[in-house]
Amino acid sequence: MASLTLYGSDVADATLTSACDMSIATGGVETSKQTVVTGTNIYIEITSQGSGGLASVSSIPAPTGKGWTYQPGAGTFAAGNWSASITLKLGAAVGSNSDTTLGFYRYSGGVYTLIGTINKATAVPTTKTTYAFSSTSMSTITFGASDLLYIHAFLHDNQTSVHGDDPIVYLSTTTANGVANDMAITTSNFTPLTPVLATSPTTL
């Protein structure tokens, strides 16, 4: 029973192809992905694969599938604290009241179930900056063997529209090894499901 630390990549997931995978090891090569914003609303998704023109929105929507995934296998995340860090850079500076929200979900058969969210004040400058999200308590949740942990990130520019902010997120180029100082998610303790071995009846 131990927590997981997951590192973001820019490699598309085989199941949820609009999202990218995460790894549990470091040592990868850094890259970056930029989401170019259209419209004049105050929220923009920070996408794992980047986007040439993603519409801003007036509030955080249901998951779009453009975030990150990890397949923990069958088991249960205990009730407890989750934390995170993410490294960002913007095309334009945002106001001092801006913030970023990370959302955590179980993705099962096309259905997203919310685990919880973490919010961080992020007056993201035009220089590369790493932001640490404080530990936040979340409820227990059980995963099936093929379920995915899904994570998304939304930037909120509280003083103006996000038009021109065009967030850049720093990631690894491989699913095998992440980059320690870029995107990292630490979960609560995860207990894998122990298989029950079948037994044959004793013959006399």
What confidence tens digit (pLDDT) does each residue in 111-150 have?
A: 999 999 999 987 767 789 999 999 999 999 999 999 999 9
Q: How far is CA 31 from CA 26, 49, 81, 170, 197, in A?
A: 14, 11, 29, 6, 44
> Which residue is listed with tokens 């499901």?
193
Per-residue pLDDT at 91: 75
State the CATH architecture for 2-192: Sandwich (2.60)
85, exposed or middle or buried, with CB in 10 Å at 0-12, 13-18, 19+? middle
CA distance linking residue 176 with residue 79, whole number of Å = 28
Mean pLDDT score, 64-75: 98
58 pLDDT higher than 70: yes
Q: Average per-residue pLDDT in the chain?
A: 90
The answer to whether the beta carbons of residues 11 and 68 sit under 8 Å apart is: no
Mean pLDDT, residues 157-176 taken together = 84
Q: Is 40 left (phi over 0), alpha (psi -120 to 50) or beta?
A: alpha
Q: In this predicted structure, what is the pLDDT of residue 181?
A: 87
Q: What is the pLDDT of residue 95?
A: 57
Residue 9 predicted with pLDDT over 90? yes
Domain ranges of the chain: 2-192
